[in-house]
Amino acid sequence: MPVWFMRQAGRYMEEYRAVRAKHSILEVCKTPELAAQVTVQPIERFPFDAAIIFADILLPLEPMGLRITFEEGEGPVIHNPIRSRADVDALLLIEGEELRFVAEAVRLARRALDGRVPLIGFAGAPFTLASYAIEGGASRSYVETKSLMYREPVVWHRLLDKLARVVTEYLKNQIRAGAQAVQLFDSWVGCLSPEDYREYVQPHVRLIFDGLKGENVPLIHFGTGTATLLELMREAGGTVIGVDWRVPLDEAKRRLGPAVAIQGNLDPVVLLAPRHEIERRVESVLKQAGDEPGFIFNLGHGILPTTPVENVQAAVELVHKLSQR
Amino acid sequence: MPVWFMRQAGRYMEEYRAVRAKHSILEVCKTPELAAQVTVQPIERFPFDAAIIFADILLPLEPMGLRITFEEGEGPVIHNPIRSRADVDALLLIEGEELRFVAEAVRLARRALDGRVPLIGFAGAPFTLASYAIEGGASRSYVETKSLMYREPVVWHRLLDKLARVVTEYLKNQIRAGAQAVQLFDSWVGCLSPEDYREYVQPHVRLIFDGLKGENVPLIHFGTGTATLLELMREAGGTVIGVDWRVPLDEAKRRLGPAVAIQGNLDPVVLLAPRHEIERRVESVLKQAGDEPGFIFNLGHGILPTTPVENVQAAVELVHKLSQR
C-alpha cells in the first residue's frame, strides 16, 4: 500500500527546523528553492511513496487581499477578516500569477525528486479557507463562519464561489507546473451538518473538481470529522477520499464504493506512542483496508511537531513490510 | 415533542448576567440559593419542558485535588494538570459530601420549580473530564490526553476509573436530592476513533450507567462529533442518546433502534440567524424526528452567549406549535 503523511515536511524534522531557524514560514513558501528543498527532505530520509509540495493553504488569501501573519505557536492570524458583503466584493479574483512561486517550487521539487516518487500539489477547500478568512484564524466553534452562512447566504455563496474559482486555477497551475496529483484540504468542513454541507459547500467543491476533470491526475478530497459527509464529499468530486481516524477504512470503503480510493487514517498522536503501540495501530489500519487495492496509507491529519522521527521511520517501514505480504 | 436547551441558564439571559455581575461562576455554583435561582430563570421566561441544574462539569475535579480557575472569555484553566501516575494516584476518591452544594441546589431548585417542569441533574463523563484535567483546559487536538492514553494505558484506566466512581456517586447524590433525570456530558469524546472509544472509554462509562440503573430515572448520554461512536455509546448505557447536528435524527434513530430515545440536534449557531432561517431549521429537525415518540428537542451543544433571547423564545414556541399538530 502506498504511504505518505500529511505535513511530512515539517517541524518534527531537524532538517526542516534548520531551514526555519533562518526563514519564516512565509519566506520558505515564497522562495521556490527553499520550498522545494523542504518538500524533498522527508523523501531523502523516509521511504515515503509520494512528496507533497511545501506550502500553506492560506497562501491564496494574501493576494486576494487579506493580511496574514503566522505567529509562532499560535497559528495564522488574519488582520482584516471578512464579515460583510463589501469585504467579499473587495476580494480579488486572482488567476494564479500572484502565486507563481508555488508553481516554481513544484517545478524545482520535481527536478530534485528526479522521478523517485510523484509530487502532490494541494490547496485549501473553499469552506476551510472561508473559515479562516471569516474567523480571522483557527476556531473551535466556527460561530462567525456559520453566522455569515445562515444570515447572509448570498454573501456566503459569493465568497465561496470566488474561493472556488481561485482554488481551481491555483491547482491547475500546480498541475501544469508538474504536480502529479492534487489534494483539496477541507480540513474543518466536519463542523457542518450534512444538510448545511449540501446547501452551502458542495456546489463550490464540485466546481473545483469539475474544473480539474480534464487534468487527468488523481484528485484527493480530504476532510476531518466527516463521518456523516462522506457520500456528499464523493458526490462533490475526487478520485480519492481522505478520512480521519474517526471513520474506519472498511466503513469508508463500504459506504463509498469501488469507484473511489480511500486515504487515511492513523491518528497522528499514535506516532507519539511507544513502538509496540504504533505497530499495533498500523496493523489495525492495514487490516481495515484488507487486501483489496484502492487504499493509500496516511495519517488522519498532519504530523505533530513533537513526533519523534524514528517513529515516522518505523511506521512507514512497517506499512511497506506488512502490505508486501 | 419535549424541548429544553443545553446551557439554557446562561449568559444570553440578562437575568443571568445580573447575577454574574455580582458573583463569579464558581460562587454561583457553590451557593445553592444562587445556583437554584439561575436554574429557574429560563423556566420563568421560556416554555421549556425541563430545567437543568446550574453547575459546571469540572466541579468534581476541584475536591479531587485540581486547582481550577475560570478566566472570563478564556474558559477553565487547571493549574496542576495530570501528566503522570503520581498525579493520578494523588487524586482523591471523593464520595460527594464535598459537592453537597450541588445536591442542595437541586433541592432548592425542585422547591422553586414546584412541579412545573422536571429537573435534570448532570455530570461530565470520564473522558471529557480527563481531557480537561490532562490538557489543563480546553483543547483542539487532545494531544496530551491521547498521549497519556497510548503511552500509559494503566495510568489512563486508573484515572478514568477514579473519575467514573466519583461521577457515579455525584449523580446518585443529585438524583437523591431530587433530580428527575440526569445527563452525562461526554462533550469531547468525538475526537476518538471507535476502536479507542471501545478500549479506553466505554468500560468506564458503562460503570457509571450500570451504577445508576437502580435509580429509575431517565439517563441521557450526550456527546458531540459522535457519528461513528453512537452504537458504542448506546452499549455503554443511557436511555436517551444525545447527538449534535452532524448526525441527522432519523439516522440516529435508525441506527440506535427503538430501545433508546434520541435528543438533539439544532446547531446553536442557528439561533443567531434571522427568524425565517430559525423556523426552517426547527422544522427540519422536527421533520427528521417524524411523528414517532422517542425524541427530545434540544440543541446539538450549549446555547451561545450571544444568542438573542427572542430567538430562543421563537424556537421553543415553534417546537411546541409544530409538534402539537
DSSP per position, B39-84 = HHHHHHHS--S-EE----TTTTHHHHT--EEEETTTEEEESS---S
Q: What is the mean pLDDT of chain B?
A: 97
Give catalytic status of residue A20 as yes or no. Answer: yes
A58 contacts A67 by C-beta, under 8 angstroms: no
Say yes or no: B198 contacts chain A, CB-CB below 8 A.
Answer: no
Chain B touched by A194 (CB under 8 Å): yes
Give the mean model confidence (pLDDT) for residues A211-237.
97
Give the C-alpha separation, B9 to B42, whole Å: 6
Average pLDDT, chain A: 97
Q: What is the CA radius of gyration of chain B?
A: 19
Catalytic residue among A12, A16, A20, A170: A20
- pLDDT of B310: 98
DSSP characters over B181-203: EEEEEETTGGGS-HHHIIIIIHH
> How close is the nearest chain A Cα to the Cα of B228, in Å?
6
Does A225 contact chain B (CB < 8 Å)? yes
Q: Is A273 on the interface with B (CB under 8 A)?
A: yes
Digit-coded pLDDT (tens) for B284-317 = 999 999 988 899 999 999 999 999 999 999 999 9
Q: Is B83 a catalytic residue?
A: no
State the Cα–Cα distance between residues B59 and B78, nearest whole angstrom: 12
Per-residue pLDDT at B145 exceeds 70: yes
- Decide if A272 touches B, using CB distance below 8 A: yes
Residues in chain A within 8 Å Cβ distance of B284:
195
Active-site residue, selected from the candidate residues A12, A132, A142, A170: A132
Asked if the C-beta of B195 comes within 8 angstroms of chain A's C-beta atoms, the answer is yes
Upper half-sphere CA count for residue A162 (Cβ side, 13 Å): 22
- pLDDT at res. A72: 76
The per-residue pLDDT for B74 is 76
- Residue A11 pLDDT > 80: yes
B291 is catalytic: no
- Strands ordered across the beta sheet of A261-266: A51-52, A119-124, A181-186, A219-223, A240-242, A261-266, A295-299
Whether A140 is a known active-site residue: answer no
User: Would you say residue B325 has pLDDT above 70?
Assistant: no
For residue B48, the distance in angstroms to the closest alpha carbon of chain A comes to 24
Q: A156, A96 in Cβ contact below 8 A? A: no
Which residue in the list A11, A176, A246, A255 is annotated as catalytic?
A11
Mean of pLDDT values over A41-70: 97
Contact at CB, A150 and B272, closer than 8 angstroms: yes
Residues from chain A that touch B146, judged by Cβ atoms under 8 A, are 267, 269
Tell me, what's the ipTM? 0.95
H or E segment to which residue A154 belongs: helix A153-177
In angstroms, what separates the C-alpha of B209 from chain A's closest C-alpha?
Answer: 24
Contact B280/A at CB under 8 A: no
Residue B72, pLDDT score: 76
Mean pLDDT value across residues B82-98: 95
Helices of type H across A11-151:
14-22, 25-30, 32-45, 61-64, 85-90, 100-113, 126-135, 143-151
Contact present, B246 and A227 (Cβ < 8 Å): yes
Give the residue on B whose Cα is nearest the Cα of A190. Answer: B246
* Residues of A with Cβ-Cβ distance to B306 under 8 angstroms: 143
Which pLDDT score, from 0 to 100, does residue A153 have? 97
Stated length of chain B: 325
Q: Three-state SS for A258? A: coil
Tell me the nearest-neighbour CA distance from A319 into chain B, angstroms.
Answer: 19
In the Cβ-directed half-sphere of A192, how many Cα atoms lie within 13 Å? 26
Cα radius of gyration (chain A): 19
H/E run at residue B281: helix B275-289
Query: Which domains does chain A show, CATH number per domain?
Result: 14-65+90-125+170-194+207-324 (3.20.20.210)
Q: Which residues in A lie closer than 8 A to residue B138 (C-beta atoms)?
A: 140
Q: How many angstroms separate the CA of residue B141 from the nearest CA in chain A?
A: 9
The confidence score (pLDDT) of residue A291 equals: 85
Q: What's the pLDDT score for residue B188? A: 98
The pLDDT tens digits of the residues spanning B166-225 come to 999 999 999 999 999 999 999 999 999 999 999 999 999 999 999 999 999 999 999 999
Residue B11 bears catalytic tag: yes
Chain B positions touching A193 (Cβ under 8 A) are 245-246, 248, 267
User: B38 Cβ partners below 8 Å, 6+ apart?
Assistant: B9, B15, B16, B19, B28, B54
Question: Dihedral, CA atoms, B143, B203, B237, B243, nearest 10 degrees?
Answer: 10
Q: Cell digits for A26?
A: 512565509
Check B190 against A246: CB less than 8 A apart.
yes
Q: What is the pLDDT of residue A71?
A: 83
| Count of CB pairs separated by less than 8 Å, A with B | 91
Q: Does B26 touch chain A (CB under 8 A)?
A: no
Quickly count: other Cβ atoms within 10 Å of residue B42's Cβ: 27
The verdict on a CB contact (< 8 Å) between B138 and A141 is: no
Q: A74: pLDDT confidence band, cut at 50, 70 and 90?
A: confident
pLDDT tens digits, A248-281:
999 999 999 999 999 999 999 999 999 999 999 9
User: What cell was used for A65?
Assistant: 487581499
